[in-house]
Amino acid sequence: MVVVGGGPAGMMAASAAAKAGGRVLLLEKKAVPGRKMAIAGGGRCNFTNVAGPEIMVENVPGNGKFLYSAFRCFTGEDCRGFFKALGINSRVEDEGKVFPAGVAGEDLVAALVDYLHVLGVEIKCSSEVAGLLLGGAGCLGAVTSGGEKYYGRVIVATGGLSYPGTGSTGMGYRLAESAGHKINGFFPSGVALVCADEWIKNKQLQGMALEGVKVELLHEGRRLDNAKGDLLFTHFGVSGPAALRVSRTAAAWFSQRKDGGRNLTLVIDLFPGMDREEITGAMESAARQAAQKTLRNLLRGMVPDRLAPVIINAAGVNDGIRAAQAGKAVRRKLADTMKGLALTVTATRPIREAVVTAGGVDVKGVNPATMESKIVQGLFFAGEVLDVDGYTGGFNMHIAFSTGHLAGISAMRGRK
Protein backbone atom coordinates (compact mmCIF):
# COMPACT_ATOMS: atom_id res chain seq x y z
CA MET A 1 0.00 0.00 0.00
CA VAL A 2 1.43 3.38 -1.02
CA VAL A 3 0.08 6.58 0.54
CA VAL A 4 1.13 9.78 -1.22
CA GLY A 5 1.15 12.75 1.15
CA GLY A 6 1.85 13.04 4.85
CA GLY A 7 -0.88 15.45 5.87
CA PRO A 8 -3.90 14.58 8.05
CA ALA A 9 -5.65 12.63 5.27
CA GLY A 10 -2.53 10.68 4.34
CA MET A 11 -1.53 9.85 7.90
CA MET A 12 -5.06 8.76 8.79
CA ALA A 13 -5.25 6.64 5.63
CA ALA A 14 -1.93 5.01 6.48
CA SER A 15 -3.01 4.26 10.05
CA ALA A 16 -6.35 2.78 8.96
CA ALA A 17 -4.73 0.57 6.32
CA ALA A 18 -1.96 -0.58 8.66
CA LYS A 19 -4.41 -1.32 11.47
CA ALA A 20 -6.36 -3.46 8.99
CA GLY A 21 -3.23 -5.53 8.44
CA GLY A 22 -1.64 -3.77 5.49
CA ARG A 23 2.01 -3.19 4.80
CA VAL A 24 2.04 0.57 4.27
CA LEU A 25 4.54 3.02 2.84
CA LEU A 26 3.87 6.73 3.29
CA LEU A 27 5.70 9.11 0.94
CA GLU A 28 6.02 12.76 2.02
CA LYS A 29 7.75 15.38 -0.12
CA LYS A 30 8.77 17.63 2.81
CA ALA A 31 11.36 16.86 5.46
CA VAL A 32 8.68 16.07 8.05
CA PRO A 33 5.00 15.06 7.79
CA GLY A 34 2.02 17.05 9.04
CA ARG A 35 3.38 20.58 8.63
CA LYS A 36 0.07 22.21 7.68
CA MET A 37 -1.73 20.32 10.44
CA ALA A 38 0.82 21.53 13.00
CA ILE A 39 0.23 25.21 12.19
CA ALA A 40 -3.56 25.03 11.66
CA GLY A 41 -5.44 27.68 13.60
CA GLY A 42 -2.24 29.41 14.63
CA GLY A 43 -1.03 26.15 16.15
CA ARG A 44 -4.19 25.45 18.15
CA CYS A 45 -5.47 22.97 15.53
CA ASN A 46 -9.26 22.80 15.48
CA PHE A 47 -9.12 19.17 14.34
CA THR A 48 -12.80 18.19 14.21
CA ASN A 49 -16.32 19.18 15.19
CA VAL A 50 -18.86 17.35 17.35
CA ALA A 51 -21.67 17.95 14.84
CA GLY A 52 -23.35 14.82 13.50
CA PRO A 53 -22.92 13.70 9.88
CA GLU A 54 -25.98 15.59 8.61
CA ILE A 55 -24.88 18.89 10.17
CA MET A 56 -21.35 18.31 8.92
CA VAL A 57 -22.66 17.92 5.38
CA GLU A 58 -24.53 21.23 5.74
CA ASN A 59 -21.21 22.86 6.63
CA VAL A 60 -19.52 21.63 3.47
CA PRO A 61 -20.75 23.90 0.65
CA GLY A 62 -18.40 22.19 -1.79
CA ASN A 63 -20.01 18.80 -2.63
CA GLY A 64 -20.97 18.00 0.94
CA LYS A 65 -23.37 15.18 0.04
CA PHE A 66 -20.45 13.22 -1.42
CA LEU A 67 -19.11 12.90 2.13
CA TYR A 68 -22.08 11.22 3.82
CA SER A 69 -20.41 7.79 3.84
CA ALA A 70 -17.10 9.15 5.10
CA PHE A 71 -18.76 11.20 7.86
CA ARG A 72 -20.86 8.24 8.99
CA CYS A 73 -17.89 5.88 8.89
CA PHE A 74 -15.74 8.21 11.01
CA THR A 75 -17.63 10.79 13.07
CA GLY A 76 -16.37 13.74 15.06
CA GLU A 77 -16.68 11.70 18.25
CA ASP A 78 -14.80 8.85 16.58
CA CYS A 79 -12.04 11.32 15.81
CA ARG A 80 -11.91 12.52 19.42
CA GLY A 81 -11.78 8.92 20.60
CA PHE A 82 -9.01 8.11 18.13
CA PHE A 83 -6.76 10.83 19.48
CA LYS A 84 -7.71 10.15 23.09
CA ALA A 85 -6.38 6.62 22.60
CA LEU A 86 -3.12 8.25 21.50
CA GLY A 87 -2.99 10.29 24.72
CA ILE A 88 -4.46 13.52 23.33
CA ASN A 89 -7.48 14.76 25.26
CA SER A 90 -9.72 17.37 23.65
CA ARG A 91 -12.15 20.08 24.58
CA VAL A 92 -15.25 21.36 22.83
CA GLU A 93 -15.55 25.10 22.31
CA ASP A 94 -18.18 27.33 20.70
CA GLU A 95 -20.11 25.96 17.73
CA GLY A 96 -18.87 22.44 18.41
CA LYS A 97 -15.24 23.15 17.53
CA VAL A 98 -12.84 20.58 18.99
CA PHE A 99 -9.29 21.46 20.03
CA PRO A 100 -6.51 19.49 21.72
CA ALA A 101 -6.64 20.11 25.47
CA GLY A 102 -3.44 21.53 26.91
CA VAL A 103 -1.32 20.76 23.87
CA ALA A 104 -0.72 22.26 20.43
CA GLY A 105 -1.20 21.07 16.88
CA GLU A 106 2.40 19.88 16.68
CA ASP A 107 1.72 17.51 19.58
CA LEU A 108 -1.24 16.09 17.67
CA VAL A 109 1.05 15.46 14.70
CA ALA A 110 3.72 13.88 16.90
CA ALA A 111 1.18 11.50 18.46
CA LEU A 112 -0.07 10.45 15.04
CA VAL A 113 3.44 9.91 13.67
CA ASP A 114 4.37 7.84 16.73
CA TYR A 115 1.26 5.73 16.19
CA LEU A 116 2.22 5.11 12.57
CA HIS A 117 5.60 3.85 13.73
CA VAL A 118 3.92 1.54 16.25
CA LEU A 119 1.76 0.15 13.44
CA GLY A 120 4.83 -0.49 11.34
CA VAL A 121 4.13 2.16 8.70
CA GLU A 122 7.29 3.09 6.80
CA ILE A 123 7.55 6.86 6.39
CA LYS A 124 9.85 8.18 3.68
CA CYS A 125 10.23 11.96 3.82
CA SER A 126 11.79 14.17 1.14
CA SER A 127 10.23 11.76 -1.37
CA GLU A 128 8.20 13.53 -4.03
CA VAL A 129 5.97 11.34 -6.17
CA ALA A 130 6.28 12.20 -9.86
CA GLY A 131 3.81 9.76 -11.37
CA LEU A 132 1.59 6.72 -11.05
CA LEU A 133 2.38 3.26 -12.38
CA LEU A 134 -0.66 2.38 -14.45
CA GLY A 135 -1.42 -0.85 -16.28
CA GLY A 136 -4.21 -3.06 -17.49
CA ALA A 137 -4.96 -4.14 -13.92
CA GLY A 138 -5.32 -0.54 -12.76
CA CYS A 139 -2.99 1.44 -10.53
CA LEU A 140 0.07 -0.66 -9.74
CA GLY A 141 2.08 1.82 -7.69
CA ALA A 142 3.93 5.13 -7.79
CA VAL A 143 7.29 6.46 -8.94
CA THR A 144 9.22 9.28 -7.24
CA SER A 145 11.09 12.15 -8.86
CA GLY A 146 14.26 10.22 -8.09
CA GLY A 147 13.07 7.24 -10.10
CA GLU A 148 12.25 4.91 -7.19
CA LYS A 149 9.26 2.69 -7.90
CA TYR A 150 6.92 1.44 -5.20
CA TYR A 151 4.21 -1.09 -5.92
CA GLY A 152 0.75 -1.57 -4.45
CA ARG A 153 -2.57 0.20 -4.29
CA VAL A 154 -2.17 3.96 -4.09
CA ILE A 155 -3.96 6.55 -1.95
CA VAL A 156 -3.42 10.11 -3.18
CA ALA A 157 -3.68 12.52 -0.24
CA THR A 158 -1.51 15.40 -1.39
CA GLY A 159 -3.65 18.34 -0.28
CA GLY A 160 -4.66 21.38 -2.31
CA LEU A 161 -3.00 24.67 -3.22
CA SER A 162 -3.25 26.60 0.06
CA TYR A 163 -0.13 27.13 2.17
CA PRO A 164 2.27 25.76 -0.48
CA GLY A 165 5.19 26.12 1.93
CA THR A 166 3.82 23.13 3.82
CA GLY A 167 4.00 20.95 0.72
CA SER A 168 0.61 21.57 -0.90
CA THR A 169 1.66 22.35 -4.46
CA GLY A 170 -1.04 20.61 -6.51
CA MET A 171 0.96 17.53 -7.52
CA GLY A 172 -2.01 15.32 -6.67
CA TYR A 173 -4.08 16.97 -9.37
CA ARG A 174 -1.50 16.05 -11.99
CA LEU A 175 -1.47 12.46 -10.73
CA ALA A 176 -5.27 12.32 -10.95
CA GLU A 177 -5.26 13.81 -14.45
CA SER A 178 -2.75 11.21 -15.60
CA ALA A 179 -5.27 8.56 -14.54
CA GLY A 180 -8.06 10.19 -16.55
CA HIS A 181 -9.76 12.18 -13.80
CA LYS A 182 -11.36 15.57 -14.40
CA ILE A 183 -9.98 18.41 -12.28
CA ASN A 184 -12.42 21.21 -11.46
CA GLY A 185 -11.19 24.81 -11.40
CA PHE A 186 -9.62 26.14 -8.22
CA PHE A 187 -10.51 29.11 -6.06
CA PRO A 188 -9.85 29.93 -2.40
CA SER A 189 -12.27 29.00 0.37
CA GLY A 190 -11.91 30.41 3.86
CA VAL A 191 -9.87 33.47 2.92
CA ALA A 192 -9.78 37.17 3.77
CA LEU A 193 -11.55 39.78 1.62
CA VAL A 194 -9.87 42.72 -0.11
CA CYS A 195 -11.76 46.03 0.10
CA ALA A 196 -11.35 49.30 -1.82
CA ASP A 197 -12.79 51.80 0.68
CA GLU A 198 -10.62 54.76 1.60
CA TRP A 199 -10.85 54.12 5.32
CA ILE A 200 -9.55 50.61 4.68
CA LYS A 201 -6.72 51.84 2.45
CA ASN A 202 -5.59 54.41 5.01
CA LYS A 203 -5.49 51.66 7.65
CA GLN A 204 -7.82 53.60 9.90
CA LEU A 205 -9.26 50.45 11.47
CA GLN A 206 -6.35 48.03 11.00
CA GLY A 207 -6.23 45.48 13.82
CA MET A 208 -9.67 46.34 15.21
CA ALA A 209 -12.02 43.43 15.89
CA LEU A 210 -15.81 43.42 16.09
CA GLU A 211 -17.56 40.66 18.00
CA GLY A 212 -20.82 38.98 17.01
CA VAL A 213 -21.67 41.04 13.96
CA LYS A 214 -23.77 39.97 11.00
CA VAL A 215 -22.48 40.37 7.45
CA GLU A 216 -24.26 40.13 4.12
CA LEU A 217 -22.51 39.72 0.78
CA LEU A 218 -24.39 41.53 -2.00
CA HIS A 219 -24.13 42.15 -5.71
CA GLU A 220 -26.12 45.16 -6.87
CA GLY A 221 -28.48 44.72 -3.92
CA ARG A 222 -29.00 40.98 -4.35
CA ARG A 223 -27.90 38.90 -1.37
CA LEU A 224 -25.44 36.16 -2.26
CA ASP A 225 -24.48 35.00 1.23
CA ASN A 226 -24.57 35.97 4.89
CA ALA A 227 -22.93 35.00 8.16
CA LYS A 228 -22.66 35.89 11.83
CA GLY A 229 -19.47 36.01 13.85
CA ASP A 230 -16.42 38.08 14.64
CA LEU A 231 -14.81 40.37 12.09
CA LEU A 232 -11.24 41.68 11.94
CA PHE A 233 -10.17 44.76 9.99
CA THR A 234 -6.80 44.48 8.27
CA HIS A 235 -4.56 46.70 6.13
CA PHE A 236 -6.19 45.29 2.98
CA GLY A 237 -9.79 44.58 4.02
CA VAL A 238 -11.48 42.23 6.46
CA SER A 239 -10.79 38.80 7.90
CA GLY A 240 -12.11 36.82 10.86
CA PRO A 241 -14.77 34.08 11.03
CA ALA A 242 -17.62 36.10 9.51
CA ALA A 243 -15.54 37.16 6.49
CA LEU A 244 -14.12 33.67 6.00
CA ARG A 245 -17.61 32.20 6.07
CA VAL A 246 -18.79 34.23 3.06
CA SER A 247 -15.44 34.23 1.27
CA ARG A 248 -16.13 31.05 -0.68
CA THR A 249 -19.13 32.69 -2.31
CA ALA A 250 -17.07 35.79 -3.06
CA ALA A 251 -14.18 33.78 -4.50
CA ALA A 252 -16.51 31.73 -6.68
CA TRP A 253 -18.11 34.94 -7.94
CA PHE A 254 -14.77 36.52 -8.84
CA SER A 255 -13.49 33.34 -10.49
CA GLN A 256 -16.49 33.29 -12.84
CA ARG A 257 -16.49 36.96 -13.84
CA LYS A 258 -13.59 38.50 -15.66
CA ASP A 259 -15.52 41.45 -17.09
CA GLY A 260 -16.68 44.70 -15.50
CA GLY A 261 -19.30 45.14 -12.80
CA ARG A 262 -17.81 42.43 -10.68
CA ASN A 263 -17.33 44.21 -7.35
CA LEU A 264 -19.34 42.99 -4.38
CA THR A 265 -20.63 44.77 -1.30
CA LEU A 266 -20.14 43.51 2.25
CA VAL A 267 -22.74 45.03 4.57
CA ILE A 268 -21.96 44.88 8.29
CA ASP A 269 -24.72 44.94 10.90
CA LEU A 270 -22.91 46.05 14.06
CA PHE A 271 -25.91 45.28 16.29
CA PRO A 272 -27.77 42.24 14.92
CA GLY A 273 -29.65 41.90 18.21
CA MET A 274 -31.14 45.41 18.00
CA ASP A 275 -33.44 47.08 15.48
CA ARG A 276 -33.03 50.66 14.28
CA GLU A 277 -35.58 52.02 16.74
CA GLU A 278 -33.68 50.51 19.67
CA ILE A 279 -30.42 52.01 18.43
CA THR A 280 -31.92 55.48 17.94
CA GLY A 281 -33.52 55.18 21.38
CA ALA A 282 -30.16 54.33 22.94
CA MET A 283 -28.58 57.37 21.28
CA GLU A 284 -31.41 59.62 22.42
CA SER A 285 -31.07 58.39 26.00
CA ALA A 286 -27.29 58.91 25.94
CA ALA A 287 -27.72 62.40 24.46
CA ARG A 288 -30.06 63.45 27.28
CA GLN A 289 -27.44 62.44 29.84
CA ALA A 290 -24.54 64.15 28.05
CA ALA A 291 -26.00 66.84 25.83
CA GLN A 292 -22.70 68.70 25.37
CA LYS A 293 -20.77 65.69 24.15
CA THR A 294 -19.71 65.72 20.54
CA LEU A 295 -21.43 63.25 18.29
CA ARG A 296 -18.18 61.33 17.97
CA ASN A 297 -17.85 60.97 21.73
CA LEU A 298 -21.49 59.95 21.99
CA LEU A 299 -20.93 57.10 19.53
CA ARG A 300 -17.79 56.01 21.34
CA GLY A 301 -20.05 54.74 24.08
CA MET A 302 -21.60 52.34 21.58
CA VAL A 303 -18.80 51.37 19.19
CA PRO A 304 -14.98 51.21 19.32
CA ASP A 305 -13.31 54.64 19.32
CA ARG A 306 -11.74 54.34 15.88
CA LEU A 307 -14.99 53.20 14.32
CA ALA A 308 -17.03 56.23 15.43
CA PRO A 309 -15.67 58.70 12.83
CA VAL A 310 -16.06 56.09 10.09
CA ILE A 311 -19.75 55.70 10.94
CA ILE A 312 -20.30 59.45 11.09
CA ASN A 313 -18.62 59.97 7.73
CA ALA A 314 -20.48 57.06 6.10
CA ALA A 315 -23.77 58.45 7.41
CA GLY A 316 -23.03 61.86 5.89
CA VAL A 317 -23.41 63.60 9.23
CA ASN A 318 -21.47 66.64 10.52
CA ASP A 319 -19.15 65.23 13.17
CA GLY A 320 -18.74 68.62 14.84
CA ILE A 321 -22.28 68.88 16.21
CA ARG A 322 -23.17 68.26 19.84
CA ALA A 323 -25.27 65.34 20.99
CA ALA A 324 -28.12 67.69 21.88
CA GLN A 325 -28.18 68.93 18.28
CA ALA A 326 -28.49 65.45 16.84
CA GLY A 327 -32.15 65.34 15.96
CA LYS A 328 -34.26 62.40 14.92
CA ALA A 329 -33.10 62.53 11.29
CA VAL A 330 -29.42 62.47 12.31
CA ARG A 331 -29.95 59.63 14.75
CA ARG A 332 -31.81 57.72 12.07
CA LYS A 333 -28.93 58.11 9.60
CA LEU A 334 -26.46 56.89 12.21
CA ALA A 335 -28.66 53.92 13.11
CA ASP A 336 -29.03 53.00 9.44
CA THR A 337 -25.26 53.06 9.06
CA MET A 338 -24.65 50.96 12.17
CA LYS A 339 -27.15 48.42 10.83
CA GLY A 340 -25.60 48.53 7.36
CA LEU A 341 -21.99 49.71 7.19
CA ALA A 342 -21.00 48.96 3.59
CA LEU A 343 -17.63 47.88 2.21
CA THR A 344 -16.67 47.46 -1.44
CA VAL A 345 -15.13 44.02 -1.96
CA THR A 346 -12.89 43.87 -5.02
CA ALA A 347 -11.16 40.50 -4.55
CA THR A 348 -10.16 37.82 -2.10
CA ARG A 349 -6.65 37.20 -0.88
CA PRO A 350 -4.76 34.61 -2.98
CA ILE A 351 -5.39 30.89 -2.74
CA ARG A 352 -2.04 30.30 -1.06
CA GLU A 353 -3.43 32.12 2.01
CA ALA A 354 -6.74 30.25 2.08
CA VAL A 355 -7.78 27.79 4.77
CA VAL A 356 -8.70 25.31 2.06
CA THR A 357 -8.81 24.91 -1.72
CA ALA A 358 -12.17 24.78 -3.48
CA GLY A 359 -11.98 22.71 -6.63
CA GLY A 360 -9.93 19.61 -7.30
CA VAL A 361 -10.58 16.02 -8.33
CA ASP A 362 -14.17 15.83 -9.59
CA VAL A 363 -16.07 13.67 -7.11
CA LYS A 364 -18.21 12.20 -9.89
CA GLY A 365 -15.20 10.08 -10.75
CA VAL A 366 -14.76 8.77 -7.20
CA ASN A 367 -16.86 6.20 -5.32
CA PRO A 368 -18.15 7.97 -2.18
CA ALA A 369 -18.54 4.67 -0.32
CA THR A 370 -14.86 3.73 -0.74
CA MET A 371 -12.94 6.78 -2.04
CA GLU A 372 -11.72 4.57 -4.89
CA SER A 373 -11.44 5.88 -8.42
CA LYS A 374 -14.27 4.85 -10.73
CA ILE A 375 -11.80 5.07 -13.61
CA VAL A 376 -8.72 3.21 -12.38
CA GLN A 377 -8.95 0.26 -10.01
CA GLY A 378 -6.62 0.39 -7.03
CA LEU A 379 -6.39 4.21 -6.98
CA PHE A 380 -7.92 6.10 -4.05
CA PHE A 381 -8.21 9.76 -3.05
CA ALA A 382 -8.52 11.47 0.33
CA GLY A 383 -8.64 14.97 1.74
CA GLU A 384 -8.24 18.35 0.09
CA VAL A 385 -7.13 16.93 -3.27
CA LEU A 386 -10.83 16.12 -3.80
CA ASP A 387 -13.26 18.82 -4.90
CA VAL A 388 -14.74 19.16 -1.41
CA ASP A 389 -14.37 22.08 0.97
CA GLY A 390 -16.07 23.11 4.18
CA TYR A 391 -16.51 26.13 6.36
CA THR A 392 -14.09 26.89 9.17
CA GLY A 393 -14.88 25.19 12.47
CA GLY A 394 -13.02 21.88 12.19
CA PHE A 395 -14.93 20.67 9.15
CA ASN A 396 -12.04 20.69 6.68
CA MET A 397 -9.74 18.82 9.02
CA HIS A 398 -12.48 16.29 9.61
CA ILE A 399 -12.94 15.88 5.86
CA ALA A 400 -9.27 14.93 5.72
CA PHE A 401 -9.49 12.47 8.61
CA SER A 402 -12.77 10.85 7.57
CA THR A 403 -11.92 10.42 3.88
CA GLY A 404 -8.45 9.21 4.83
CA HIS A 405 -9.92 6.66 7.22
CA LEU A 406 -12.42 5.45 4.62
CA ALA A 407 -9.80 5.25 1.87
CA GLY A 408 -7.45 3.32 4.14
CA ILE A 409 -9.91 0.64 5.18
CA SER A 410 -11.38 0.42 1.67
CA ALA A 411 -7.98 -0.09 0.08
CA MET A 412 -7.36 -3.02 2.42
CA ARG A 413 -10.59 -4.88 1.73
CA GLY A 414 -9.71 -8.30 0.35
CA ARG A 415 -5.99 -7.55 0.73
CA LYS A 416 -5.16 -9.05 4.11
Query: With the C-alpha atoms ordered 76, 81, 83, 89, is the resulting torsion angle positive or negative?
Result: positive
Overall residue count recorded for the chain in this entry: 416
Q: Which of 23, 57, 73 is nearest to 410 (CA)?
A: 73
| 3-class DSSP assignment, residue 29 | coil
- Which stretches of the chain score pLDDT less than 70? 258-261, 414-416
Task: Give the pLDDT confidence of 26-67 residue by residue, as tens digits.
Answer: 999 999 999 989 998 888 999 999 999 999 999 999 999 999
For residue 261, what pLDDT is reported? 57
What domains does the chain contain, in order, with CATH numbers? 2-188+352-412 (3.50.50.60), 193-270+342-348 (2.40.30), 276-339 (1.10.8.260)
Q: Which helix (H) or strand (E) holds 283?
A: helix 276-289
| 3-class DSSP assignment, residue 308 | helix
Q: State the DSSP string of 341-376.
A: EEEEEEEE--GGGSSEEEEEE-GGGB-TTT-BBSSS
For residue 189, what pLDDT is reported? 95
Confidence (pTM): 0.93
**Residue-averaged pLDDT of the chain:** 94
